[in-house]
Chain A
Amino acid sequence: MTTAGSPAVATNVGRPILGGRRFSLDWVGVVPFLGYAALFLILPSAIVALGAFFDANNAFTLDNFAHLSRSYIVKSTIDTTFVSAVTAVLGAALGALLAYAIVTGSPTGLLRRMVVSASGVLAQFGGVTLAFAFIASIGPAGFVYLFAQSHGIDYYGHGIWLFDIPGLNLVYLYFQIPLMVLVFLPALDGIKPQWREATESLGGNTWHYWRHVAGPLLFPAFLGGLLLLFANSFSAYATANALINQGQPMLSQQIAGALSSEVGAYEPGFAKAIAVEMIVIVTLVTVLYTLLQQRTARWL
């Protein structure tokens, strides 16, 4: 019951009752909020964006960005992009499968409600606890590994990959798949069973249906989900840091490394430049995602 079309009318009607202040100080009411957001959201963002162009003596410089060509940053960028791409593709594919399994069941069934609420929780379930969960299960002392070992399977025969890039890929899937379920389910819900019947009545088989009807309709939503997942794992930090404490392979860990004074590598300007690099990549992906979402919304 919002007065969508007529805010002006409503305000004029409201004024006399509410005390009749003409040039009121209405805007004062949002000052605390805007002030708070300015201090702890806008200012930090500005510090990152502008600070990347200044050195320790507050002189303008592009050196911070030049440092991005350091071999370990290039390697981190490639590794992070690789992990994000792998977990996005696998997460999107597996998440879409799971979503399809849900959507082919009863729309109001218990199973669906359970999977959807579980996805909501698990998509947010990252960080330290998630790393611990995998260490406790498939880690060198986890019961899955001990069980496999006692049956002659040693999946760490070539090194403990859990604490390296392959492990990160597996662990990230734990929140990537549920996120995909959440974003892809609405698109699948938009596919009407009548379209399949229409395909059949025109003589098409299952392949024709997926290739010419459902596939093209779902593709933008799938691609959109893929990009969201990419951005999601690209900016993850807590899980990677809890799982891998040597080598700092992820870009987010490089930011933290340049920020911390522990290793004598305190380079705040450089940290900002890496942060800008990350933001640029994530923004590019997000813009693509938004464009695709609009396209999907038009069809479904």
Chain B
Amino acid sequence: MAVALRGVHRTRWLKLQVFRYVVFALAAAFFLVPLIAMFEFSTRANDGSRTLQYWQSIASYPDMIAAIVASLELAVITSVVMLVLLVPTMVWVRLRLQRLNRIVEFICLLPLTIPAIVLVVGLFPEYIWLGTNFSDSILTLSLAYVILVLPYCYRTLDVGLGAIDVRTLSEAARSLGARWDQVMLMVIAPNISNAILNATLLSVALVLGEYTIANNLLYNNLQVELVHLGRADAGTSIAVAVASLMFAFVLLVVLNFIGSRPRRSVEEPVTKLAGPLQASQA
């Protein structure tokens, strides 16, 4: 009986392993072939030999260079605005306005439920107004991009702020005479540096990949230009796509590497301190 049962388990285990590796192999093929193909395509000459001409000719398209620069600038501006807007608000809500916490969270997660193509319809008249009254620079796109990155950055920063005792830290700093800007910059920010970096990298990755809003508001960012160029010179266009993909990949690796490093050394003393401190106050 026991032997038979073990036999049953053994065949089932074998079947399971076969199933698993077949699934993994198929998945790997489906997901890796298109990525490898892009690289292959961007280095294949018309006669089938290997060439770097497409990669070299990236520089010969000034529109593409301008679009890359614009997208990088947008990424920087969006990240900065996002941090300046979100971090102080989230800290302030935790300290003073607990009852607004749910509202802020709701607003931050709202863009997940509104498709970008719908948002752009509402942004269209706003950008016409902005264009006639202030500026029609491509950099104004960052105003909309901040909204797009809100959900991801909110979640990341929320985890970061949840891991430290914001109240104790800021009260300690304030009682030692720190101004609010000093509390934010010199006390809170260094303690959630991981979360800030993660949120920044996510914003950069999202902005560099954004197409819907830029295309419909008639701005030429990196992705829009990729499609334009793709119709004239597919090889170069795909070379740029591979380059931007590798850039995003490096960002994500950095993110993973930093994210997986535990920060116990900072967290624990703070939480231990919080216990007696609160007890003595009560």
Q: CB within 8 Å of B: which residues of A?
A: 1-3, 7, 9-11, 13-14, 17-19, 24, 26-27, 29-30, 32-34, 36-37, 39-48, 51, 97-98, 101, 104-105, 111, 115, 117-118, 121-122, 124, 126-130, 132-138, 141-144, 173-174, 177-178, 206, 234-235, 237-238, 241-242, 245, 252, 255-256, 259-260, 268, 271-272, 275, 278-279, 282-283, 286
Known contacts A117-B256, A132-B241; A13/B212 CB under 8 A: no
Q: Please, which residues of chain A bring their CB within 8 A of the CB of B205?
A: 124
Q: What 0/1 readout, one digit per residue, does chain B (122-166) give for beta carbons within 8 Å of chain A?
A: 111110000000000000000110110010000000000010010
A13-B282 contact, Cβ under 8 Å, with A2-B162, A136-B40 = yes
Point out the residue from A40, A117, A121 that lies within 8 Å of B147, measured CB to CB.
A40
How far is B171's CA from A271's CA once the two chains are assembled, in angstroms? 51
Task: Indicate whether B197 reaches chain A with its CB closer than 8 angstroms.
Answer: no
Q: How far is the CA of A39 from the CA of B143 in the complex (A)?
A: 10
* B55 within 8 Å of A (CB atoms): no
The answer to whether A282 and B113 touch across the interface, beta carbons within 8 angstroms, is yes
A278-B115 contact in complex given A104-B20, A129-B241, A259-B124, C-beta closer than 8 Å: yes
Known: A13-B281, A128-B226, A134-B34. A259 touches B120 (CB 8 A): yes
Shortest C-beta distance, B121 to chain A (Å), equals 5
Question: Is B118 a contact partner of A137 (Cβ separation < 8 A)?
Answer: no
Q: List 29 A-B contacts (CB under 8 A).
A: A3-B167, A7-B98, A9-B282, A11-B98, A26-B92, A26-B96, A29-B93, A33-B89, A33-B107, A36-B85, A40-B123, A45-B114, A48-B121, A48-B122, A98-B27, A104-B16, A121-B249, A128-B223, A135-B234, A137-B33, A144-B33, A173-B30, A235-B117, A242-B230, A256-B216, A268-B125, A275-B121, A278-B115, A282-B115
Q: How far is the CA of A206 from the CA of B105 in the complex (A)?
A: 44
For residue B274, which residue of chain A has the nearest CB? A1
- The reply to whether the CB of B116 lies closer than 8 angstroms to some CB of chain A is yes
* B42 proximity list for chain A (CB < 8 A): 136
Q: Are A36 and B146 in contact, CB atoms less than 8 angstroms apart?
A: yes
For window 179-217 of B, CB contacts with A under 8 Å fall at: 205, 209, 211-212, 215-216
> Known pairs A37-B107, A47-B121, A279-B114. 16 more at Cβ < 8 A?
A1-B165, A30-B93, A36-B146, A41-B119, A45-B119, A48-B121, A98-B27, A128-B226, A128-B241, A174-B31, A177-B27, A235-B116, A271-B124, A272-B122, A278-B115, A279-B118
B146–A40 touching, CB < 8 Å: yes
Q: Establish whether residues B226 and A132, one from each chain, have CB atoms under 8 Å apart when the complex forms.
A: yes
Chain A residue with Cβ nearest B226: A128
Tell me the chain B residues, 29-77 only, with Cβ under 8 Å from chain A.
30-31, 33-38, 40-42, 44
Smallest Cβ-Cβ distance to A4: which chain B residue: B98
Please name all residues of chain A whose beta carbon is closer than 8 Å to the beta carbon of B120 when the two chains form the complex: 256, 259
Give the distance to chain A from B213, nearest Cβ to Cβ, in Å. Answer: 10
Given contacts A7-B98, A29-B92, A260-B216, contact A14 B117 (CB under 8 A): no
Tell me whether B265 is interfacial, beta carbon within 8 Å: no
Chain B residue with Cβ nearest A24: B96
Whether B211 and A128, one on each chain, are in contact in the complex, defined by CB atoms closer than 8 angstroms, is yes
Q: Which residues of A contact B125 (CB under 8 A)?
A: 47, 51, 268
Q: B123: nearest residue on chain A (CB-CB)?
A: A44
Determine if B10 is an interface residue (Cβ-Cβ < 8 Å). no
User: Closest 4 CB pairs between A and B?
Assistant: A44-B122, A235-B115, A137-B37, A133-B34
**Contact of A272 with B41 in the complex, beta carbons under 8 Å:** no
Residues A256 and B122 in contact in the complex (CB < 8 Å), given A1-B165, A13-B282, A133-B35: no
- Give the chain B neighbours of A275 by CB distance below 8 A: 117-118, 121-122
* Most A Cβ at <10 Å: residue of B96, B99, B117: B117
Determine the chain B residues whose CB is within 8 A of the CB of A101 once the complex forms: 19-20, 23-24
Q: Which residues of B contact A48 (CB under 8 A)?
A: 118, 121-122
Closest to B281 in A: A13
| Closest residue on chain B to residue A239 by CB atoms | B211
Instruction: Tell me whether B263 is interfacial, beta carbon within 8 Å.
Output: no
> Which B-chain residue is minimally distant from A97 (CB atoms)?
B23
A254 to B99, CA, bound (A): 41
**Residue from the set B85, B216, B274 with the largest chain A CB neighbour count within 10 Å:** B216
Query: Which residues in B have their C-beta under 8 angstroms from that of A206?
Result: 12
Which of the listed residues B37, B40, B119 has the most CB atoms from chain A within 10 Å of its own CB? B37
Question: Which residues from A are CB-within-8-Å of B241?
Answer: 128-129, 132-133
Q: Do the beta carbons of B115 and A26 come within 8 Å of each other?
A: no
Q: Which residues of B contact A39 (CB under 8 A)?
A: 126
A138 to B114 alpha-carbon distance, docked (Å): 32
Q: Tell me whether A252 and B115 are in contact (CB under 8 A).
A: yes
- What are the residues of chain B within 8 A of A132 when measuring CB–CB? 38, 226, 230, 237-238, 241
Q: Which residue of B has the minimal Cβ distance to A136?
A: B41
Known: A33-B89, A36-B85, A235-B118. A98 touches B167 (CB 8 A): no
B252 to chain A, nearest CB (A): 6
